[in-house]
Amino acid sequence: MFDDSWLEDQRALRDADAGLRRLAEAGARLRREFGGAEEPLLQMSVLERPRAVIAVGSEARFIRAMLEPACPVPFVAWPAHGLPGWVGALDLVVVMASDLVTPALLATVHEAVRRGAQLLIACPPASIIADHAVSSSTILLPTSTADPLAAAIVTLAALHRLQLGPEVDPWQVADAMDQVATDCSPYVNVAENPAKDLAMGLAEAHPLVWGGSVLAARASRRVAEALRAASGRAALAADADELITVLESAAPRDPFADPFEDAVSADRRPVLLILDDGNPEPPIRHAHARLRTAAERNDIRVCVVQHASGSDVERYATVLQTGMYAAVYLAVGLGRYLQS
């Protein structure tokens, strides 16, 4: 059972310090990575525009979500071992390897170098993958924090220098992350803390997480993963039509149910969690309204994480970080840190 008093309990919060501290330092990690990449970023403006861009590694799909609407050349987020057969010296291979290096990723880097492709790689400078990436066509963005999102944002700034994607200001994104850390701090009480309030809304439920835009949808999948890990329960991130099917099939609420005696996992009702990054496109607003209507019709709680100001990346980082804080507080309220 969820105990909301633990959200203000110093011992319980102290046990969750590692997770909370990691979230709180997100802005500082981004500033560190961006500051360390100052020299290689200057090299980007002298490169010629590639024929195509291929992104691999962690956060490659985030890079795709940012570049696809604006990239003037074909873009591929490549999930498989190696590279497409057509990749050659006219193409740019973007490798995200700031945190996890697999044999498949090493093989992909080796293949890019062998074919003479331009290579933009974000990784620690003293690492085996950096050794494999050495060539006259390689630009290395040095990383030191093992934070894939920070490395991806710096990579987006580099790709903007090549006129391949939108402008990204890592300093402003870091400030947005700092604001989330302030708002969701463990020292802010439940009444004023959006992440603690969200954790209480998800306390005894199966979360259904929706984000309408491409970036919000990616954030919804990340938040759902964190909620599953925090609670050991099902948490589903899906498109609006799929979630509406689940909402419409939910069993009616029992007004006489005792939350202490009847808290059986199979009987938990869903809660709809909407990550709203303020995207104004009519199809997204229409889907938003349909989900709310379906939830209200079936007496299902709706929780909203909303941020509508700033750049696309600032809004993405804000809704994502708020959801991740809520996952930590959900684990705190369930006593999962006390049990470990």
What residue spans define the domains of the chain?
4-16+186-339, 28-169
In contact, 102 and 57? CB cutoff 8 Å: no
Positions in the chain short of pLDDT 50: 263-266
- Helix pair 17-24, 170-183: axis angle to 10 deg: 140
At residue 257, the pLDDT reads 60
- Residue-wise pLDDT for 156-184, tens only, equals 999 999 999 999 999 999 999 999 999 99
Same fold, 4-16+186-339 and 28-169: yes
CATH classification of 28-169 is 1.10.3720.10, yes or no? Answer: no
CATH architecture of 4-16+186-339: 3-Layer(aba) Sandwich (3.40)
pLDDT at 265: 45
Distance CA 107, CA 299 (A): 52
**Token representation of residue 207:** 């979360």
pLDDT of residue 264: 46
Return the pLDDT at 256.
57
Q: What is the Cα Rg of the chain in Å?
A: 22
Tell me how far apart the alpha carbons of residues 139 and 307 are, in angstroms, rounded to a whole number.
Answer: 34
Position 93 scores a pLDDT of 96
State the amino acid at position 226 in one-letter form.
Answer: A
